[in-house]
Structure 1
Amino acid sequence: MPSSPRSIAEVPARSDATDSPSFSPLYAQIKALITAKLQSGEWKAGDLIPSELDLAKRFGVSQGTVRKAIDEMAAENLLVRRQGRGTFVATHAEQKVQYRFLRLMPDEGSESLERQLLDCRRQRATTAIARALQMRTGDAMVEVRRLLSSKGVPVVLDDIWLPGDLFKGLTTERLNLHRGPFYGLFEREFGVQMIRAEEKIRAVAADEASAQLLQVPVGAPLLSVERLSFTYGDKAVELRRGLYSTTSHFYRNELN
């Protein structure tokens, strides 16, 4: 049975002093309530959420307060506004945002990368991976290796580690049957939505194994990108280490 609507009265009381550490603007409290609904699964990836007017009535605040909260969530890619249709929960399955965590761009034009799954297996988490994913050493995890290619030429070698308890049933067959980005599969079939990521980037030289898979000489310069992805509540749910060949591609980022 769905829970009863939560009003703003349920938000912890805040201090009247704006310089108090406990002070939280009203729109930020509404943002927290909406985020809680996303985290609980009441509104899933791709769902239309209630209108600003309906949310204002539900939470007992003005429509302008709700609009400010939604504006901020849209800027953070948690929600997507669609003119004349309403506001939707962001999804990696949507064409224009499905590769928003992948910043490798071709030197000329645009392209879609082809995917080749090399391996998918259940393992026990090492100490380093367990620490990154907020697990215990030896906990079950899923390890995935894949190649991304441009016009038949490999450009990315990805190693991906996922918490086993969140991705029960993730197999090679399941990944091969899925045609879109992995994140779309993760949110649709496992209820895990990647909402933000942190990356560490460094230059490395290709070792023998990576050189063979990426079809570059041993010692060739590669870009190493380590990404830790988070879902709601700042919970780490994916560790990914990618080796990027930048012979005909570059890594692009936008700074705001």
Structure 2
Amino acid sequence: MTPQTKVIFSGLVGAPPEIAEKLGVPEGSELARLDRLRLANGEPLSVEESYLVHYLCPGVLERHDYAKISLRKTLAEDYGIRLQKARELIRAIAAPRKLAHLLTVPEGAPILYVERVSFTASGEAVEYLRKFYRGDRYVLYNELQG
């Protein structure tokens, strides 16, 4: 399998109310948004939308080509930000038109939606992430210990 990433959007945006609340910032706060399409052997597998609190990592979008470099690695190495914990929600949804097109599935096809807020060890929210996975190409596996 040959993995590939394509950046489909990179820019600064104002925080919409629902994302501002999850990140603990005022509505309209500047966020760095990075949307990427993940592929394997040229086949789309997932779409990721990352929203970063921009004042914590100014200029992050201009630092690297995120089709080739890890965003988390950049946060750790360039800004000293290590994401230590996260809250994650996972559910199945019907693919809306835009995502269906990007993932090459029929509109309304089942896809897996993952929403995550990542925090530093001190509890500061840094990233709000939405991931959309093709339902026919993704398996969720958990190993739990009690």
Q: Is the 1:178–1:185 contact (alpha carbons within 8 Å) kept by the matching residues of 2?
A: no
Change (3 A) 1:178 1:157: closer
CA–CA distance in structure 2, aligned partners of residues 141 and 180 of structure 1: 20
- The letter of the residue matching 2:26 is R
Aligned to 1:34: none
Q: 1:155 aligns with which of 23, 45, 59?
A: 45
Q: What is the rounded CA distance, in whole Å, between the counterparts of 2:113 and 2:68 in structure 1? A: 26
3-state DSSP of counterpart to 2:60: coil
**If the length of structure 1 is used for normalisation, what is the TM-score?**
0.54
Does the C-alpha gap of structure 1 residues 183 and 213 become closer, same or farther in structure 2, counting only changes over 3 Å?
same
> Aligned-pair RMSD on alpha carbons?
1.6
Q: Is the 8 A contact 1:159 1:242 kept in 2?
A: yes
Amino-acid identity (%): 31
After superposing on structure 2, the runs of 4+ consecutive aligned residues of structure 1 that deviate more than 4 Å are none
Structure 2: unaligned runs, 5 residues or longer: none
Deviation of 1:174 (Å): 2.9
Whichever residue aligns with residue 89 of structure 2, its letter is: K
Q: Which consecutive residues of structure 1, in runs of 5 or more, have no partner in the other structure?
A: 1-110
Q: Which protein is bigger by CA-based radius of gyration? A: 1
Q: Distance in 2 between matches of 1:148 and 1:155?
A: 6
Q: Does 1:124 align with 2:14?
A: yes
Shift of 1:142: 0.8
Distance 1:115 1:175 in 2: 13
Give 1:153 deviation, angstroms.
Answer: 0.7
Cα 1:252–1:113 change in 2 (3 A) is farther
Cα offset, 1:178, TM superposition: 7.0
- SS of alignment partner, residue 232 of structure 1: coil
**2: distance between equivalents of 1:224 and 1:140?**
24
The residue number in structure 1 matching 2:127 is 238
What TM-score results when the alignment is normalised by the length of structure 2? 0.91
What pairs up with 1:21-32 in 2 under 5 angstroms?
Answer: none
- 2:95 paired with 1:206: yes
Q: What is the identity, as a one-letter code, of the residue corresponding to 1:183?
A: R
Which structure is higher in RCO with an 8 Å CA cutoff and minimum separation 6?
Answer: 2
| Letter in structure 1 aligned against 2:110 | P
The whole-number CA distance in structure 2 between the counterparts of 1:152 and 1:241 is: 22
| Paired residue type of 1:149 | L
Residue 201 of structure 1 deviates from its aligned partner by 0.7
Q: Which structure shows the higher strand fraction?
A: 2
Give, as a single letter, the amino acid of the residue that structure 1 aligns with 2:105. V
Matches within 5 A, 1:97-246: 111=1, 113-171=3-61, 173-176=62-65, 179-246=68-135
Q: How many residues align?
A: 145
User: Take 2:125 and 2:101, find their aligned partners in 1: how far apart are those partners?
Assistant: 31
